[in-house]
Amino acid sequence: MGHSHATPDLDSLLDQCSDAGLRRTSALRACLEVLLKAGQPLTLQEIGTSPFLGISCDPATIYRLITRLEEKRIVRRIGFHSRAAHYCLRESSHQDYLICRDCGSVEVLDITCPVEHLEKEIAKTSGYSDLEHELEFFGRCAACQR
């Protein structure tokens, strides 16, 4: 887990979105709520069909919103398959992921982050502050090997 980010609440996320120039629409609120409650990365389809969505939102709207949230660095995109890309809130927790090259499934890597000490070292030697990293390992999951 590493970074001691407390899970953000909806209001602070909406404030962040406003600061980033996003309009506070009911769709924005609904998408953030889904990601907050999920506690794990979701595909666009999973966001759209989540029982927490609470409003009807067409897939194109969700796609546009999530793309904007990704641009504004509020949401992180995981994986590279566009059909299976997963999205999660950046703030809620720092995670490293294991991603299947074939089916695009995403799993949380459940180990102590191997580069956290490296991050501190880099910050010290480079003079950069507020460093963050994203670590993704790619391979073939057990199901795809069968």
Q: Measured between alpha carbons, how far apart are the two ends of the chain, in Å?
A: 31
pLDDT in tens, the chain (146 residues): 344 445 678 999 999 999 999 999 999 999 999 999 987 899 999 999 998 888 888 999 999 999 999 999 999 998 876 667 899 888 766 788 888 988 888 888 888 877 888 888 999 999 998 888 888 888 999 999 99
Question: Using CA atoms, how far apart are residues 106 and 97, in angstroms rounded to an integer?
Answer: 7
The CATH class, in words, for 10-145 is alpha beta
Domain positions in the chain are: 10-145
Contact 50, 38 (CB under 8 A): yes
Tell me if the pTM is above 0.85.
Answer: no
